[in-house]
Structure 1
Amino acid sequence: MTALGFLYPGHSAEDDYPRIEQLLGSDIRLDLVHTDIGEDAHRVDALREMGSAERLAEGVETLRLAGAETVVWACTSGSFVHGWEGAHEQVRGLAQRAGMPASSTSFAFVHAAREIGVRRVAVGATYPEDVAALFARFLRAGGLEVTGTRSSGIVTAAEVGTWTEEDVLTLARAADAADADAVLLPDTALHTAAHLTLLEKALSKPVLTANQVTVWEALRLVDRRVNAPALGSLFTREPIVQVR
């Protein structure tokens, strides 16, 4: 049994994780611990506090006792608001406290895009424009070209968690661009696990979503690859073979 650990902020779309666990259809367990978010606001100062070392540390021991082999900070905005270097420091600190490999959803998006071989991406963000712009900057620091960013201006994760399949599809379509190789939907408060097949069929290209890439990143950290077509292109591709 492979046990993967996640620190998830508050309560919004955490039910994506048991759904993903079921869709993986393998000997993989997803252990999720909720962190205290403080103020529920897609605002830079609130997001920095949400991802502070003190708040993340509170859930680490629970994951250790559960037998998790890795831990991922399952929050995009609470990591990229620290910038590329700051997000690295956040993850390094988390790994040191947990005593196991660690990452975050922001890095998961960069690694997942590389995995499926895309460089040009379009972003459909639920966040206000200033926060969405910080995510685009983070992606560029990771070597990706952002063709455009669509902002929905949503202030709270609680509101994002109420979005329907049609809402998600509308955002993805609005964000899509002809010159984008993939569309990214960066909010772990957004329910997407049940919609990935529909999204990719509607857009005719890969769609990477926050909870999807977060689980994939945890699998990457323990060197596991799982074929699960219901979870989109990211879970159906063979690992890229490095030629030496």
Structure 2
Amino acid sequence: MTALGFLYPGHFAEDDYPRIEQLLGSDIRVELVHTDIGEDAHRVDALRETGSADRLAQGMEGLRLAGAETVVWACTSGSFVHGWEGAQEQVRNLARVAGMPASSTSFAFVHAAREIGVRRVAVGSTYPEEVTALFAEFLRAGGLEVTGARSSGIVTAAEVGTWGEEDVLTLARAADAADAQAVLLPDTALHTAAHLSLLEKALSKPVLTANQVTVWEGLRLADRRVNAPTLGTLFTRQPLVQV
């Protein structure tokens, strides 16, 4: 049994995690601890506070007691708003406090894109344009080419959490571009676990979503690979392709 730990801010799309655990159909246990989100606002200052060291440290005791072997900060915007270097420092601090391998959803997107062998990506974002631009900048720092970024301008994670399948599909289609090898949907407040097969079929290309890549990143840290095609191309155990 491998126990993966996740620090998830607030209560929005956390039900994606037990769904993913079920779809993995393996000896994987997903342990989720909620952190205090502070102000629910897709604004740079509020997002930096959401991912502060103190808030993350407060959630670690619950993961230790659960026997987690790895920890991922399950928040895209609460990591990339610190920039590439700042997000690295955030993860290093988390690893020191946790005493276990650590990462965040922002890095998960970069690692997942490399895993499936894509370099050119399109972004479909729920965030306002200013925050979306920071995510695109983060991806470029990770060696990816962003062919375009679509912003929905949503201010709160609470609103994002109400989106259904059709909303998610509309966003992905609007973001897609002919020269993009994959479409990325950042925001762990967005329900996507149940829609991955539909998204990839509709776009005819890999789709990487926040909660999906977050769990995959936990598995990567634990040196595990699981074949679960209903969770998209990322979980088909394709060999790593260097790009």
Structure 2 match to 1:93: 93
2:164 partner amino acid? T
Structure 2 match to 1:41: 41
CA distance in 1 between partners of 2:140 and 2:127 (Å): 18
Q: Quote how far apart the aligned CAs of 1:50 are.
A: 0.2
1:116 partner amino acid? I
CA distance in 2 between partners of 1:164 and 1:5 (Å): 26
Q: Quote how far apart the aligned CAs of 1:91 are.
A: 0.1
Kindly indicate whether residue 160 of structure 2 is the aligned counterpart of residue 160 of structure 1.
yes
Structure 2 match to 1:150: 150
Q: Conserved in 2, the CA contact under 8 Å of 1:225 and 1:239? A: no
What secondary structure does 1:220 align onto? helix
Alignment gaps of 5+ in structure 1: none
CA distance in 2 between partners of 1:87 and 1:240 (Å): 24
1:110 partner amino acid? V
Q: Conserved in 2, the CA contact under 8 Å of 1:3 and 1:28? A: yes
Q: Quote how far apart the aligned CAs of 1:61 are.
A: 1.1
2:186 partner amino acid? P
Structure 2 match to 1:216: 216
Q: Quote how far apart the aligned CAs of 1:238 are.
A: 2.4
Structure 2 match to 1:15: 15
Percent identical: 89
Give deviations 1:128-183, integer Å, cap 9, x for gaps. 00000000000000000000000000000000000010000000000000000000
Structure 1 match to 2:239: 239
CA distance in 2 between partners of 1:214 and 1:178 (Å): 26
Alignment gaps of 5+ in structure 2: none
Give deviations 1:208-232, integer Å, cap 9, x for gaps. 0000000000000010000000000
What secondary structure does 2:7 align onto? strand
With normalisation by structure 2, the TM-score equals: 0.99
Q: Quote how far apart the aligned CAs of 1:241 are.
A: 7.5
Aligned length: 242
Structure 2 match to 1:194: 194
Q: Conserved in 2, the CA contact under 8 Å of 1:127 and 1:153? A: yes
Structure 1 match to 2:203: 203
Structure 2 match to 1:174: 174
Q: Conserved in 2, the CA contact under 8 Å of 1:122 and 1:146? A: yes
2:161 partner amino acid? G
Kindly indicate whether residue 114 of structure 2 is the aligned counterpart of residue 114 of structure 1.
yes
Q: Quote how far apart the aligned CAs of 1:41 are.
A: 0.2
CA distance in 2 between partners of 1:91 and 1:102 (Å): 6
CA distance in 2 between partners of 1:182 and 1:28 (Å): 27
